[in-house]
Structure 1
Amino acid sequence: MKVAEVLHMNGGIGDTSYSNNSLLQRKVILVTKPITDRAITSLYTSLNNPKTISIADLGCSSGPNTFLAVSNLVKAVDSARKKLQRRQSPEFQIYLNDLPTNDFNTIFKSLLPKHEEGFRREIGEGCGLCFFNGVPGSFYGRLFPSNTLHFVHSSSSLHWLSQVPKGIEENKGNICMATASPPSVIMLYYDQFEQDFSTFLKCRSIELVKNGRMVLTMLGRQSEGPFCHIWELLALALNDMVAEGFVEEDKLNSFNVPLYIPSLAETKFLVEKDGSFTIDYLEASQIHWTEYNNDGYNVIGRCMRAVAEPMLVSHFGEGIIDEVFRRYEKMIAHSMSTSPDYSQLIIVTVSVIKM
């Protein structure tokens, strides 16, 4: 799997697009809003009436969540400006980053004049101008000049790896690190995450100004177990199709997702190991599927399809997609009805300051 080519959400604005099926990711942004607000407010307060603030949203994807995250940050700065009674608002240089296969066209179509006016109304009068820039490329490498960014935000992105770990052929029947994965496979997944996350931190430490801030949120786990139930259920749906002859077993056994679910302890360890940042805030939060009432399993199923479909199509072809997700939604509904523990996601959020 060439990750840079297939790791992207369903584009456009259709029924299965990420734009219309990203309620969970939106919930993550809203749950962590107090943390991002506090971080960027602290940054702005520490600056001496800056003329420009540079903000990068890494892994921005496309759709309404992209501008939700950005508008929250800009509004937090403007609220702080009014409290500090500073007359002049800074202008905002905003960088939207994702892999080159991301649907940047949909993003920038949203900035047509009639839509931009709505964005301005959302932020409020008196706020400085926002200048948007698309930055295609992997955040596991340099993206910006040295000492140019004030604030980096990334939500629901850093659990994605730069590549599927090498040497995980024993992970048969699974599609990522799972409860049934051999310990050697889990270790290889961790090694890849350590390498990628360390590279990410090193690159951002170069690009951020001194005392610059960064808030990162990713799918996580509270315990040391490798559990990510929503992905394990997708693997079960694929296994069912293997058992019934719709998918070749070798085809399933050669498919693995570039995904690692870190714990709080692992995140803390790697940030401290890098040594470029001070941890300001670190927590694990829960998001419950049951908040979506009886439609929760459909919400999860549609969200997962918007995320996973490009990878599945690349490996298995388009012919199985509808059937896979029909079975998958049934499995989600059963899990939600039988175990409350399966009706939640864990997210890990870390807020750091560049030393």
Structure 2
Amino acid sequence: MKVSSVLCMKGGNGDTSYAANSILQHKTIMLTMPITEEAITSLYFNLNPCPASLKIADLGCSSGPNTLLVVSQLIKKICKIRRKTNKISSPEIQIYLNDLPGNDFNSVFKSLSSFNEGMRNEVGSDLFGNCFFNGVPGSFYDRLFPINSLHFVHSSYSLMWLSQVPDGIGGNKGNICCSRRSPKCVVKAYFKQFQKDFSVFLKCRSVELVAGGYMVLTIFGRKIVDPSCLIWELLGNTLQDMVSEGLIKEEKLHSFNVPLYTPSLDELKSIIENDGTFQIHRLETSSVNWNFNDNIISNSFLSNGTNKYEDEYDDDGYNLAKCMRSVAEPIILNHFGEEMIEKVFYRYKEKISDYMAKHTAKFINVSVTLSKRKRC
């Protein structure tokens, strides 16, 4: 599988699109927003003098209501700082939105005019100033920006995706990623690929960030030693059931592997320290419940004062299955064909609902705040 050509969230605004089903990602962004705001505050006060143009990149921006959520919160925080410190001059803000070329950038661009108007109305034209947006298609495992050009980098729920399916995982038959049944050599191969990719990511960003520039990264991770990923393991079990029923050929399943690894705090810390370019300011975990109604939804997912998702659906398994479908459908479609999509996700929904009826489960987020070291 050529990851860069098939790995993207489902575009558009339809019922199964990422834009309509990214509520869990939204909650993670809002849950970790205090960390992001703390970092942009530190950056703002450490930039001396404040640059005429503040450059911010969001890596793995995707499309839908989450795409500009971080940007809006950062702009509001900067405006709040300026109001509090009575700073008159407003730096221009350049926003770089990055994702793989298959991302639905058109939907993002169509929303920019209303976004700018909304921000001016909310914070005031005198504080908002000029804000310029740039789409940057490409892999963040490559160089994306000129040397010493960025002041702030943000990424949420993107860096668990690997640049490729790891080598040496032929013994992982019946599994689609790291699972409790995976041989140790397969788990080691997945970690080795993550270690390589994240190291490359750090090297690329260390060239692109100015000295003292900040990064806030939130990754779908784990707290425990076991690196299996339950939500994807359930999808693997669904596909295995379909093999048993003769709906999918066994060799077709055996050749399907998801390029995803959920790192732990210790693994991230080790890779960052080995790189040596960045100082760690915060490194912590948080969690979001699988259960849809156990989570708080912020205003950007409200419609006329009500939760439109709660009004439409009362089946948590259905909500979560639709969320996962908006992420997984492009790679499932590429490997198994369009005729299997409805069959796969109908069974997957049943699998998730059954698990949630018996267990309480959470997604674990690993967040880290870094700044580029200033060389003497």
Q: Into which bin does the TM-score normalised by the smaller protein fall? A: over 0.9
Correspondence for 2:364 among 309, 323, 346: 346
Instruction: State yes or no: 1:14 paired with 2:14.
Output: yes
* Residues 204-219 of structure 1 aligned to structure 2 (within 5 Å): 204-219=205-220
Identify unmatched segments of 5+ residues in structure 1: none
User: Which is worse superposed, 45-54 or 218-227?
Assistant: 45-54
C-alpha distance in 2 between matches for 1:237 and 1:320: 12
Report if the CA contact (8 A) 1:11-1:102 is conserved. yes
* Residues 185-224 of structure 1 aligned to structure 2 (within 5 Å): 185-224=186-225
Render the CA deviation track for 1:99-158: whole Å, top value 9, x for unaligned: 1111111111112x3453124334544212110000011000100011010000000000
The secondary structure found in structure 2 opposite 1:161 is coil
- 1:66 is aligned with what amino acid? T
The secondary structure found in structure 2 opposite 1:329 is helix
Report if the CA contact (8 A) 1:71-1:123 is conserved. no
Render the CA deviation track for 1:284-323: whole Å, top value 9, x for unaligned: 1111122425532122111110100000010000111111
C-alpha distance in 1 between matches for 2:223 and 2:149: 34
C-alpha distance in 2 between matches for 1:244 and 1:123: 58
Query: Paired residue for 1:162?
Result: 163
Deviation at 1:81, TM superposition (A): 1.3
Render the CA deviation track for 1:160-209: whole Å, top value 9, x for unaligned: 00000112111111101111110000000001000000000000001000
Shift in alpha-carbon separation, 1:92–1:103, aligned structure 2, 3 A: same
**Aligned residue pair count:** 352
TM-score by length of 2: 0.91
* Residues 44-193 of structure 1 aligned to structure 2 (within 5 Å): 44-47=44-47, 48-111=49-112, 113-125=113-125, 126-193=127-194
C-alpha distance in 1 between matches for 2:358 and 2:105: 40
C-alpha distance in 1 between matches for 2:60 and 2:338: 25
- 1:89 is aligned with what amino acid? S
User: Which is worse superposed, 49-58 or 117-126?
Assistant: 117-126
C-alpha distance in 2 between matches for 1:18 and 1:99: 15
Deviation at 1:53, TM superposition (A): 0.6
Where has structure 1 moved over 6 Å in runs of 4 or more?
Answer: none
- 2:29 is aligned with what amino acid? I
Query: Paired residue for 2:337?
Result: 317
The secondary structure found in structure 2 opposite 1:12 is coil
The secondary structure found in structure 2 opposite 1:214 is strand
C-alpha distance in 2 between matches for 1:114 and 1:164: 39
C-alpha distance in 2 between matches for 1:61 and 1:276: 28
Instruction: State yes or no: 1:252 paired with 2:253.
Output: yes
Deviation at 1:87, TM superposition (A): 1.1
Identify unmatched segments of 5+ residues in structure 2: 295-313
Query: Paired residue for 1:28?
Result: 28
Report if the CA contact (8 A) 1:71-1:122 is conserved. no
Aligned Cα root-mean-square deviation (Å) = 1.2
User: Which is worse superposed, 287-296 or 10-19?
Assistant: 287-296
TM-score by length of 1: 0.97
